[in-house]
Amino acid sequence: MENIQFESNLAEKRYLRLLEITERLAKANPAQFESDLAARLMNLGLFYYTVQNMPEAETMYLRSLEIYERLAKANPAQFEPDLAGTLVNLGNFYSNVQKMPEAETMYLRSLEIRERLAKANPAQFESDLAATLMNLGIFYKTVQKMPEAETMYLRSLEIYERAATPNPAQFEPYLAATLMNLGNFYAAVQKMSEAETMYLRSLEIKERLAKANPAQFKPNLAATLMNLGVFYSDVQKMPKAETMYLRALDIYERLAKANPAQFEPDLAMTAMNLGIFYRTVQKMSEAETMYRRSLEIYERLAKANPAQFEPDLATTLMNLGVFYSAVRNMPEAETMYRRSLEIYERLAKANPAQFEPDLARTLMNLGNFYSAVRNMPEAETMYRRSLEIYERLAKANPAQFEPYLARTRIILNYFYETV
């Protein structure tokens, strides 16, 4: 942990030193150096975003945006591409911190610019347009605007299909990623036949790419296998699901052995998904083994880098709490739930926009646990704390959180009726 924090501090100092130099140059000669300053600010914003310092990230992004807006107004041919890229990064940022209206505004501004650029010069700018369309598809899926999401995904797919025909080496990876996102979309709207088609098309491309260049594309292949495992599990094709999960696990085990820093998180996630799968098919011994493997990895990762991995650790502990409740090992279940709660309370205090929904869900699960073991005072406390969070969240974002609020009220009413 100390080593990673030290490296992070050193990186920040390097970024800030470069920024300070570029600011002085841009003040003395704005015509030559303002574009460099905007790029430095964007890189610093990306750094702060990576280390979860969201206020500083937003400040840097907005300073970069202000410069590119002025530059693009004076010289659109040169600087509109940079402006569009900055708007996408801001869209991603606002989406991550749950500021959805601001995110949509940034994405749509980027889309408008890139549509014009691609119309004038498709060879140079259509791939950028496809990327913005993909980001908008992901955004609209997140906010449950499914017709808009499908439109954006399909427009992105159409561009990448055309681009990949004459230039497969460059564009097939993007095509495969687009197909994967469309598979996720169709699965979310219960169009399972279309989802499977997209997933299998993506898998076919990634198998070819991984065979030709395993170092570059094996990780993408493993991710596709993981998504197919989740899909086949959802549609109750359990032998196929297990096959996909185990193929992904085998790849990630080999990758993590060679490069633990990069691939242990993927291995932990795969073990977690396999734990959930084995619990679903009532292979409880195998489920516990996979859950514990995931927990052991995430505990080490979170100790070294809490900002990045504590959320994953909390999720793993929550899943283990659910598992131990199912097998009636109540002391272990309570331990896991409580550890998960402690992490989410800290995370939500530091970043409520991102982690309060997880905290509310954890409190709800603990309420269900205490209700099951007839500890009614603790159950009521957890339910009421969850309700208070969902009331605030639903007031700010009714489309996303009112269903959770309604469910929590129903559970709490049933609780009072039964006690």
- The answer as to whether 207 is a domain residue is no
pLDDT of residue 51: 83
Q: Determine if residue 52 is left, alpha or beta; phi over 0 gives left, psi from -120 to 50 gives alpha, anything else beta.
A: left
pLDDT of residue 404: 93
pLDDT class for 9, splitting at 50, 70, 90? confident
Residue 261, domain extent: 213-304
pLDDT of residue 222: 95
With CA atoms as reference, report the closest residue to 85 among 55, 52, 51, 109: 109
Residues 6+ apart with CB under 8 A from 357: 389, 393, 401, 404
Cβ–Cβ under 8 Å, residues 35 and 79:
yes
- Taking residues 169-183, report their average pLDDT: 94
* Tens of pLDDT, residues 15-55: 899 999 999 999 999 988 999 999 999 999 999 988 888 89
- The answer as to whether 87 is a domain residue is no
pLDDT of residue 3: 46
- Percent of residues, the chain, with pLDDT higher than 90: 87
Residue 221 has pLDDT above 50, yes or no: yes
With CA atoms as reference, report the closest residue to 178 among 232, 137, 213: 137
* Tens of pLDDT, residues 299-337: 999 999 998 899 999 999 999 999 999 999 999 999 999
pLDDT class for 1, splitting at 50, 70, 90? very low
pLDDT of residue 4: 43
| Alpha-carbon distance values, 247 to 204, 205, 219, 241, 283 (Å) | 14, 16, 12, 10, 18
- pTM of the predicted structure, to 2 decimals: 0.75
Residues 6+ apart with CB under 8 A from 190: none
pLDDT of residue 280: 93
pLDDT of residue 7: 58
- The answer as to whether 93 is a domain residue is no
* Domains contained in the chain, number: 1
| Alpha-carbon distance values, 240 to 9, 34, 199 (Å) | 46, 55, 13
Residue 95 has pLDDT above 60, yes or no: yes
Handedness of CA 276, 279, 284, 286 (dihedral sign): negative
- The answer as to whether 200 is a domain residue is no
Residue 277 sits in a domain of what CATH number? 1.25.40.10
- The answer as to whether 379 is a domain residue is no
With CA atoms as reference, report the closest residue to 371 among 386, 388, 383: 383
Query: What is the chain's Cα-based Rg?
Result: 24
- The answer as to whether 325 is a domain residue is no
- Taking residues 401-412, report their average pLDDT: 93
- The answer as to whether 38 is a domain residue is no
pLDDT of residue 13: 87
- Percent of residues, the chain, with pLDDT higher than 70: 98
Rounded to the nearest integer, the mean pLDDT of the chain is 93
